[in-house]
Amino acid sequence: MSEATVELDRVHVVHTARTGGLLRKDHVHALTDARIRIRRGEVLGVVGESGCGKSTLARSAIGLQRPTGGTVRFRGEDLWAMPARRRRQEFGSSVGVVFQDPSTALNPRLSVRRILRDPLDVHHRGKRAWREERVDLLLDLVGLPGHVADAVPAQLSGGQRQRVAIARALALEPEIVVADEPTSALDVSVRAQVLNLLADLKTRLDLGMVFVSHDIQTVRHIADRIAVMYLGRVVEEGPMEQVATAPRHPYTRALFSATPSLLHRSERIILDGRVPTATAPPSGCPFRTRCWKAADDCAEAFPRAGSDGDHTWNCLHPETDTRSTV
C-alpha cells in the first residue's frame, strides 16, 4: 500500500463559543483524537450525522483548520511546522477542494475562464498562453464545452457549476482532492453524473480523495475506504465493502440500517436516548447514551481500537453478526 500523502495523527480541534451571556464560554469539541490517512489513488468516504465533525476533519486535512492538538503530516512532514511560504507553494498546490454549494463557491462576477485561470496565476504556472490552454484542457476534462469559458456562473446550471468547481480544484494537478458534500446541492438527476465524473477522474489522474457526505449509499458508490464519525470521533474505519457488510460498531450498523436497499432486507434500528452535545460530551464512549448494547464499563474510558486486518473500530461490545446489512 502506498504511503499517505496527508495524515492526521491524533488531531484535536476545540472551538470556544459564548453561551448563556457574555461572560460564559463553552468549549466545542469539534474533533477528538482523529487518525486518518489519505493516499493517492484511493477514495476515503467520511460519513456521520450532521454536526459530527466531518467538515472539520476535511478542513483539517486541507490546511484550512489548524488543529488544537495532534499533528497533520504532508508527505511525512509536520504541515504546521513548515514555513508558511513552503506550505502555500507545496501543500497548497497538492491539495484541491470542492465545496458543497457551487453557487456560493464560485465568484459570480468572474467568467469561468478567469475562475479556472486564477489558481494558475496565483502560483505563477507557465506563461499566459499555456494558462489559456490549460483552461481549455480543464473544461474538456470535466466534460464541459469550450464556450462555457466565456460564461459567468449565473448562466450555468447547478451541475455545470459543480463541474467548473471540480475543474478549478484540479487546476494545479493536485495529489489529493477533498469533496465536502459535493452533490447535496444538486438535483437528483445530476448527482449520478457528478459522482461518475469524480470516480472517472480518480482513476484517470490517480487522485486521492476525501469524500464527505451524510448519504452512505452515495459514499458506497465511490469510496474505497470509509470512516464513520460520531460526536467528533472516528469510531470505525476500514475497506468500504468490509465495513458495509460486517459493521462492528453499533452506530455504524444503525447508519446502514437506515438506508433502503433492493438487494438485502435489514431490520431498521431506531436510536433512543439522550443525544449528547459537543460542548458536554459524555465520558467514555460518546455513543453510549443511545446505544442498545451500552454497559457500565462504556462510561469509564473511550474504547481502545479493535481490529480485523485493515478494519478498525472503537467499541467494548462490538457487533458480531456479520450478515450483510445493505
Q: Which CATH number fits domain 1-39+60-223: 3.60.15.10, 3.40.50.300, 3.20.20.140, 1.10.760.10?
A: 3.40.50.300
Report yes or no: 56 and 31 within 8 Å, Cβ to Cβ. Answer: yes
Select from 42, 44, 33, 87 the least CA-distant residue to 62.
87
222-238 average pLDDT score: 96
Q: Where are the domains of the chain?
A: 1-39+60-223, 226-326
Q: Per-residue confidence at 73, pLDDT binned at 50, 70, 90?
A: very high
What are the grid coordinates assigned to 276, written together? 449528547
Q: Is 72 exposed, middle or buried (0-12, 13-18, 19+ CB in 10 A)?
A: buried
80-105 average pLDDT score: 93
34-52 average pLDDT score: 94
Sign of CA dihedral 50, 54, 60, 63: negative
Kindly report the number of other CB atoms within 10 A of residue 89's CB atom: 14
Q: Per-residue confidence at 324, pLDDT binned at 50, 70, 90?
A: very low
Report yes or no: 189 and 222 within 8 Å, Cβ to Cβ. Answer: no
Q: Is 25 exposed, middle or buried (0-12, 13-18, 19+ CB in 10 A)?
A: exposed
pLDDT in tens, 98-122: 998 888 899 999 999 999 999 999 9
Residue 325: what pLDDT?
A: 47
pLDDT in tens, 252-291: 999 988 776 545 556 788 888 888 988 889 999 999 999 9
219-247 average pLDDT score: 95
Residue 266: what pLDDT?
A: 63
Q: Is 228 exposed, middle or buried (0-12, 13-18, 19+ CB in 10 A)?
A: buried
Report yes or no: 171 and 120 within 8 Å, Cβ to Cβ. Answer: yes
196-224 average pLDDT score: 93
Report yes or no: 175 and 14 within 8 Å, Cβ to Cβ. Answer: no
Average pLDDT, the chain: 91
Residue 21: what pLDDT?
A: 60
Amino acid at the residue 289: T
Q: What is the pTM of this model?
A: 0.91
- The answer to whether residue 84 scores a pLDDT higher than 50 is yes
**More confident site: 260 or 227:** 227
What are the grid coordinates assigned to 141, written together? 476534462
301-319 average pLDDT score: 94
Residue 243: what pLDDT?
A: 95
Q: Per-residue confidence at 226, pLDDT binned at 50, 70, 90?
A: very high
Amino acid at the residue 121: D
31-37 average pLDDT score: 96
Q: How far apart are CA 229 and CA 85, in angstroms?
A: 33
Kindly report the number of other CB atoms within 10 A of residue 169's CB atom: 25
46-68 average pLDDT score: 94
What percent of the chain lies above the pLDDT cut of 70? Answer: 93
